[in-house]
């Protein structure tokens, strides 16, 4: 199965797999953004954080490989009375001429070399002084039942993220491995080991 087919199947169930509330860490970072900033949500799934950011007045674009996820993002945006631009795309082929003030992503789990390619390409789309902000599952999460993939190659370490963002125009503002408690629908529930990163473009 392709990545799109895997996520179409997961998102086809009733309700929202990860709930309708935003990722807590991403929601806490809106102070980095100027009013009406343009934000790309990378691998946004069913749209929960994208809708929150749109409600806060930002210009939001949500990208995902799942047609079902995009449809549910559009439905949630309509329910909440906000406008979001949606892009159905596989990160292996996706390209754009657009530029963004920030890129936010939660739990986008890819194997290398696509992981490095996709994150670096997304980072290249940032305007000067823009931010790449993400919360991802740590390799330590593999032993927990609170969510996330069970393949080590899909999880992150400090070293793997340092490698991705070892770029001349990238400054690591925050790169932290921490334990948190997730309450994100039925998909993410309980104690979890996560990576949190904020990278600024010069």
Q: What CATH number did the domain enclosing 183 receive?
A: 3.40.50.150
pLDDT tops 90 at residue 1: no
| Average pLDDT over the chain, rounded to an integer | 97
pLDDT tier for residue 71 given thresholds of 50, 70 and 90: very high
Tally of structural domains, the chain: 1
Identify the domain containing residue 14 by its residue range. Answer: 3-201
Residues belonging to the chain: 202
Distance between CA 117 and CA 18 in Å, rounded?
26
């Amino acid at each position: 199965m392709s990545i799109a087919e895997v996520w179409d199947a997961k998102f086809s169930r009733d309700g929202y797999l990860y709930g309708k509330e935003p990722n807590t860490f991403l929601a806490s970072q809106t102070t980095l953004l100027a009013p009406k900033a343009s934000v790309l949500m990378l691998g946004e799934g069913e749209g929960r954080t994208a809708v929150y950011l749109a409600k806060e007045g930002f210009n939001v674009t949500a990208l995902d490989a799942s047609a079902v996820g995009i449809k549910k993002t559009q439905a949630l945006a309509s329910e909440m009375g906000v406008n979001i631009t949606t892009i159905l795309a596989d990160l292996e082929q996706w390209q754009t001429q657009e530029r963004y003030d920030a890129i936010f992503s939660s739990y986008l789990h890819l194997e290398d070399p696509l992981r490095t390619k996709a994150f670096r390409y997304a980072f290249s789309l940032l305007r000067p002084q823009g931010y790449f902000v993400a919360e991802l599952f740590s390799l330590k999460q593999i032993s927990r039942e609170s969510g996330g993939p069970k393949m080590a190659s899909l999880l992150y370490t400090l070293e793997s993220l340092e490698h991705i963002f070892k770029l001349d125009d990238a400054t690591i503002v925050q790169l932290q491995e921490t334990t948190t408690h997730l309450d994100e629908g039925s998909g993410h529930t309980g104690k979890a080991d996560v990576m949190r990163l904020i990278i600024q473009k010069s």
